[in-house]
Structure 1
Amino acid sequence: MGNLRHSVFVTFFIPVMALLLIFQLTSSLYAKTAQAETHRVRVGLITNADKLAFKTTGKYQLINKKSGEIIANLKPGERWELTVNNNRMVLTKNGEPAGEFNDPLVVQGATATQVSILSAVTTISSNGSNLAALSGDGKVTNLGTDLSKYQVRSASGVQPMTAGNSELALITLEGPGNTKRYRGDMEFKISNTGQLVAINELPVEEYLYGVVPSEMPVSFGLEALKAQALAARTYALRAALNNKNMDFDLAPTDASQVYGGYDAESPMANRAVQETAGEVITYQGQLIDAVFFSSSGGFTDNSEDVWKNYVPYLRWKEDPYDKNDKHYNWVVYNTVDQLTNRVNQGLAQLGYQQQFGQVQALEEVARTSSGARVKAMRINGLGLDGSPLTVEVANADRVRVVLGLKSSLFTWEQQRDEAGNLTAITITGSGWGHGLGMSQYGARGMAEQGYNYRQILQYYYTGVDIVPNYGR
C-alpha cells in the first residue's frame, strides 16, 4: 500500500471465583478463544521457490494438512528443508531424509495452554498462544501473550500473573532473499507451476503487529498508528472475504500491504493494535476498502477520478494536515529519449500495445474533481515505424504510472529547440501515492494537532463508522 512504517501497563483484576470458573470451564474458554481467533488471515509470503527451509522456537508440530497426521513434534534448533522432485515435496531434517509428500504440510502451534489454581496464587501457563479470561458476567477478555502487564487480585492480595512457559512461538522461514521470523502457522505446498509456496496463517491482530510499523513510521505517534491499525485491519479482513476461495488472502508487499513479520514489530505499534483490537471501519454496515497512501500533496481525490469506480466514502477534500519536506515540490527532469523510454515502459505496464519511437508532446486533457491531479493526458509523437501516434491515458493513477511519478499531482514545462522539437521536460509535483483515502503524513499531522484516531479516520473516509468486534 505504502512505503511508510511500549507497552502500557494494565492492571487487570480477576476475582478468584471467576478464575475458578475458568478452571472449571476450560474447554468452553478455549472454544471462545478459538472463536475470537476465527478472524485469521493467510499471507502468501513466497510463491515461487525451488527450496525453502524453516526452524522453530516454541512448541510446534509438523502436520499433513489433508490427513491430519502428525509427522513430527518440532524441536528448537532443528533445520527442516523442502525441495521439489517429480511434483512431490522432499523433506529433510538437519540434512537427513525425512519423507516425501504430495499433500500440503503445516507447521502448527501445539496446544498446551492450561490454567491452574494453587492455593491463593494463580499461575497461567502458555506456549505463546493468546489467552483469554472469562469474568463472572461471561465477558471474555483477550489477554494476548504478554502476561507480565497483568495482575490478579486473590485472597492474599494483588499478585503478578506469570507464564510458566513464556517462550514466544515463532517460525523462521528461509527463502529466496528472505530470512524472517513469523508468528502463527506456516503452510507449505506445491504450486501449479511446480514450485514451493509458503503461506503464513495467523490471527489478524498478530498479522497487524508486522504490518503497522512496516507501513507507517512509529515516530508518527500513537493516534496516527491507531488510525493505521484500523485501516490495515479493515483492509485485511475485507481481502480475506474477497479472496476466501484463493490459496491466500494477502501478499506481504504493497500489492496488498507491507508485512514484515515478527522482526518488523515495534512496542508502540503493537500497543496501537492492542488498544484498538477488533475495531474496523464500515460504511452502511459493510467493511470499507480502507485504502491509504503516503502523502496527499495537499488534496485527496474522488475514487472515480483516480481509479475507475465511484466509491461513496472515497471523496476529495483539501488536506491541510499533510505537511512534510520529503514529498512536496519534487522535480523530475527527463530528456526526450528518457521520456520516451519511461512512457513506453509505463504503457507496457498498463497493458497498452502502442510504443513510441519518440514522444513529441504531452497534452493535459482533464484534471480531477479537486483540480489538483492530472486525470487524463494525451501523449503525441511518432510510433516505432515513424508514423504519427497519439495515446490518451486516464485515469489519474494511470497517468502517474505511465510517467513513472510519485503522484499525479504535478505540472510540467516542455523544453524545445529552435526548430520547435521537444528536447526535454521538467515535471514539478507534490505527494506520494494514489491520493485516495487516508494520507499517512496527514494522519501524523492530525495526531500532532490533538486529533484522535477516530477523528483522523472519519476525516479521510467520508461518512464512515468505527465499530467494535470486527463489525459483527
Structure 2
Amino acid sequence: MQWALAGAFILGAGLLLASLQQNQPPPALPSGQNVRVLLSYRLNGGSFEGQYLFPGLELLPQGGRVQVLSGPNPENLRPIVTVFADKPLSFSLQNGGLVASSEGQVWALEAFVRLKPADPATPVQYRLLASPRPNLEPYPGELWLENRGSGLLVVNVVDFQDYLKRVLPSEMPASFHPEALKAQAVAARTYAYTRQQANTFWKQFGADVDDSVSEQAYNHTRTHPATDAAVDATRNQILTFQGTPIQSFFFSTSPGATASIEEVWPDRPAQPYLRGRPQAKPHAVSIQSEAEALAFFQNWNPQGFYDAASPFWRWKLRLSREELEALLSRTLPERARAAPPFVQTPEGPLSPDAPGFALGTLEQIRVLGRTSGGYVTELEIKTSTGRFVVRRESHIRSLLRPHKALTGGGDVALERWQGEPRLNFPTLPSAAFALQEERDAQGRLLGITFWGGGFGHGVGMSQYGALGLAQRGYDYRQILEHFYPGARLEALP
C-alpha cells in the first residue's frame, strides 16, 4: 500500500502535460492560492461537535512573532496583540466569551480570531499543546478561530504546497515507489483544487475541506523528503476532463478491480474517467454470479494482482448467528435513521428505526446486487420479523462492523492474507466480499464467513495498485492514465 513490466507501455493520447516544458520550472501558483482546512479536535469524535469543537486551544508559535486579530466577523478584524515566538498562547471560553492569554496577560476577544505572522517574510508554525491527538506536527500558515459558544472551530489557512506535503505522507507511506508518490500528489492536488472551487459542506465553517479521511488526511504524519520530492516534482499539475478538474477519488486497496462511481454511489452521475477496471494481469476480472464471487475472494494467490502488496488485498471474517444478530440489532436501526432512502423494508411489520424494533432470528444474508468487479451494491437481511434491504457501499460497510462492542462477545478477528489478524476493526474494510453460510442438519443458520478483498470505496485510483504499477515500470503519468482514463494532466495557470 512486484513485478517487472513485460514490454513497453505506450502512454495514451488522452493524458498530456500542458504548459510544462522540460527543464523549465512551472509557474508559481496565483497569489492567495491557499487551502482552508477545518481541523479536528479528535478524529472519529462520533458527532460533529465531538470531532471538530475545541473546548479551548493551547498553542506554541514557532519561527516568528504572531499577530492576533479579532472582530465580530471575518471581514472586520482589528489587531489585538503581537506575541513573541516560543511563548505559549492560550484561548479559552469564559461565560460564553473568548479570551486569549500569554505570560500572565489576558485579552478579551470577539467571535472571530485570526493568527498570522507579524512579519510576512518570516513563516510561523503553530504547535498545538494539550491535544487529545498525540504526536501532532506543527501547522504552517495561519489559524482562524470561531467561537461557537460551546467550543471553538479552528481552520488552518495553508499554502497549497505546504498542505500537500502534509497530506501525502498521511495518505501514502513515504516508502512507496517515487512514481506512485507522484501519482498520489497529482490526485491529492486535483482533489483539493476541485473542493476549493466547489460549494462544499465545509464552506459554512470557512473551510474548503477537513483534515480527516472524509476528505484527505492532513498532518496525521510528519513530512518526509520522499513525499516532499513528489509534491515538488509535480508542482501545479492537476487532472482535467474536457477542461474541468476531475473528481480524483482514490482509496487504499482494490481486490482486483475498481468500481464505477455510479455503482458505488448511486446518487452521483457516471463519469467516463471513473469507470470500473480490472487491476490484474493476465486476469480478466468479471464476476457474474455469487458462486464466481466466492471463488474469486477465496483465491489467495497474489500472482498478477496489482494490489497484492497490501495486507488487505484479501481478508476474511467469521461471525456466528448470535454475533450477527447482536450486531444487526444495533446497526440496522442506526443505518435506517442515518440514511432512510438506503434502508428499505419491503416486508416486515416494523421499520428498523421505529420504537420497539426487534430483529428476531437471523435467517439469511443475501447479496442482491454487485458490480462486475465484486463490490456489493445491495444486501438483503432476512429475519423472523421481516426482510430488510440495505444499499450503498458505505452503509453496507457500516452495517457489518466487526467490533466486539457491537457483537456482544469476545474480540472479533479480521484475518488478512498477510500480517496478523486485526481485532475489532472499526468498519468492514470494503464492500467487496462473498458469503459462505454454515447451517445445521435442520437448515438453521449457524454462522457466516465473509470472504473479502480490498480496503476502501473502490472508486478511482487504488493506492496499492499505483504501487504495483510503479513496480512494473509505469511512470506517474501512465499510472494516472490507467486509473483516470481520458483525463488530461495540465498545469494550473
TM-score (normalised: structure 2): 0.72
1:433 to partner: Cα distance: 0.7
Aligned to 1:307: 265
Shift of 1:73: 2.3
CA contact (8 A) 1:60 1:107 kept: no
Amino acid across the alignment from 1:241: Q
The separation in 2 between residues aligned to 1:34 and 1:377, in whole angstroms, is 47
Alignment of 1:10-49 (within 5 A): 35-46=30-41, 47-49=52-54
Aligned-pair distance for 1:227?
0.8
Q: CA deviation at 1:49?
A: 1.8
Q: Secondary structure at the match of 2:53?
A: strand
Alignment of 1:60 onto 2:15? no
Aligned twin of 1:439: 462
- Indicate conservation of the 8 Å contact 1:49/1:175, yes or no: no
2:253/2:310 contact within 8 Å kept: no
* Gapped regions of structure 2 (runs ≥ 5): 2-22, 42-51, 281-305, 341-350, 402-427
Question: Which letter does structure 2 place at the counterpart of 1:248?
Answer: A
Corresponding position: 1:351 with 2:339: yes
- Cα distance, 1:81–1:48 mapped onto 2, change above 3 Å: same
Name which of 440, 446, 465 aligns with 1:417.
Answer: 440
Give the aligned partner of residue 423 of structure 2: none
Query: Is residue 296 of structure 2 the alignment partner of residue 338 of structure 1?
Result: no
TM-superposed CA distance for 1:42, in Å, is: 2.9
Q: Does 1:257 align with 2:252?
A: no
Matched residue type, 2:172 = M
Q: Do the aligned residues in 1 keep the contact of 2:325 with 2:362 (CA within 8 Å)?
A: yes
| Alpha-carbon separation, structure 2, partners of 1:323 and 1:401 | 25
Between structures 1 and 2, the one with greater strand share: 1
Query: What's the counterpart of residue 185 of structure 1?
Result: 142
CA contact (8 A) 2:321 2:446 kept: yes
- Specify the SS of the correspondent of 2:263: helix
Q: 1:334 to 1:13 in 2, by over 3 A?
A: closer
Q: Which residue of 2 aligns with 1:234?
A: 190
**2:389 is matched with which residue?**
392
CA distance in 1, matches of 2:193, 2:153: 22
Identify if the C-alpha distance between structure 1 residues 240 and 74 changes in structure 2 by more than 3 Å, giving closer, same or farther: same
Preserved CA contact (<8 Å) 1:174 1:180:
no
Q: Deviations over 1:20-70 (max 9, x none)?
A: xxxxxxxxxxxx979334243333343212121111111232332444433
- The CA distance in 2 between the partners of 1:343 and 1:222, in whole Å, is 43
Partner secondary structure for residue 39 of structure 2: strand
Tell me the secondary structure at the aligned position of residue 299 of structure 1: coil
User: CA separation in 2, counterparts of 1:251 and 1:436?
Assistant: 20
Count of paired positions? 381
For 2:374 and 2:140, the matched residues in 1 are separated by: 42
CA-CA distance at 1:401 after TM superposition: 2.8
- 8 A Cα contact 1:211 1:257, kept in partner: yes
Match of 1:110 among 104, 112, 118: 118
Question: What SS does the aligned partner of 1:108 have?
Answer: strand
Identity %: 28
From 399, 402, 406, the equivalent of 2:399 is: 402
Q: Whole-Å Cα distance in 2 between the matches of residues 174 and 248 of structure 1?
A: 22
CA separation in 1, counterparts of 2:137 and 2:54? 15
Structure 1 residue 231: deviation in Å? 1.0
Match of 1:155 in 2: none
Structure-1 separation of matches of 2:28 and 2:377:
48
Which residue among 185, 193, 201 is the counterpart of 2:157?
Answer: 201
Residue 430 of structure 1 deviates from its aligned partner by 0.9
Name the amino acid aligned to 1:240. Q
The two structures, once aligned, show a CA RMSD in angstroms of 2.4
**What is the Cα deviation at residue 186 of structure 1?**
0.9
Residues 44, 199 of structure 1: 8 Å contact kept: yes
Judge which range, 250-259 or 60-69, deviates more.
60-69
How big is the shift at 1:13?
A: 12
- From the CA coordinates, give the structure whose radius of gyration is larger: 1
Instruction: Could you tell me which runs of 5 or more consecutive residues in structure 1 were left unpaired when the two chains were aligned.
Output: 3-11, 15-31, 114-126, 129-168, 383-387
Q: Report what 1:118 is aligned to.
A: none
Change (3 A) 1:344 1:174: farther
3-state SS of paired residue (2:138): strand
Q: Tell me the distance in 1 between the aligned counterparts of 2:29 and 2:82.
A: 22
Deviation at 1:398, TM superposition (A): 3.0
- Cα deviation for residue 325 of structure 1 reads 5.1
**Which residue of 56, 67, 88 maps to 1:79?**
88
The residue number in structure 2 matching 1:430 is 453
Measure the CA separation in 1 of the matches of 2:194 and 2:329.
34
Contact map agreement 2:67 2:79 (CA 8 A) in 1: yes
Query: Are the equivalent residues in 2 in contact too, given 1:42–1:249 (CA < 8 A)?
Result: yes
Task: Describe the SS at the equivalent of 2:209.
Answer: coil
Map residues 119-198 of structure 1 onto 2, 5 A cutoff: 127-128=122-123, 169-174=124-129, 176-178=131-133, 179-191=136-148, 193-198=149-154
Query: What letter is aligned with 1:44?
Result: L
CA shift in 2, pair 1:441/1:203, >3 Å = same
Query: Which among 364, 367, 375 is matched to residue 370 of structure 2?
Result: 367
Alpha-carbon distance between aligned partners in 2 of 1:175 and 1:88, rounded to the nearest angstrom: 21
Higher relative contact order, chain-length normalized (CA < 8 Å, sep 6+): 2
Partner Cα distance (2:183, 2:70) in 1? 37
SS in 2 for 1:300: coil
Q: Distance in 2 between matches of 1:112 and 1:187?
A: 17
Matched position secondary structure for 2:457: coil
CA contact (8 A) 1:42 1:200 kept: yes
Q: Is the 8 A contact 2:36 2:155 kept in 1?
A: no
- Change in 2 beyond 3 A, CA 1:342/1:454: farther
- Residues 365 and 377 in structure 1, CA contact (< 8 A), matched pair in contact too: yes
Task: Return closer, same or farther for 1:226/1:98 CA change in 2, 3 Å cut-off.
Answer: same
What is the CA distance between 1:452 and its match in structure 2? 1.2
Say if 1:327 and 1:225 are closer, same or farther in 2 by CA, change over 3 A.
same
Contact 2:430 2:453 in 1 (8 A): yes
1:371 Cα deviation from its structure 2 partner: 4.3
Equivalent residue for 1:323, pick from 308, 316, 319: 308
Give the Å deviation of 1:330. Answer: 0.9
* Residue matched to 2:228: 270
Contact 2:177–2:470 (CA<8 Å) still a contact in 1? yes
Distance 1:280 1:203, change over 3 A: same
| Pair 1:226–1:414, CA change in 2 (3 A) | same
The answer on whether the counterparts of 1:57 and 1:77 sit within 8 Å (CA) in structure 2 is yes
Are the aligned partners of 2:143 and 2:157 in contact in 1 as well (CA < 8 Å)? yes
> 2:193, 2:68 → 1: CA distance?
26
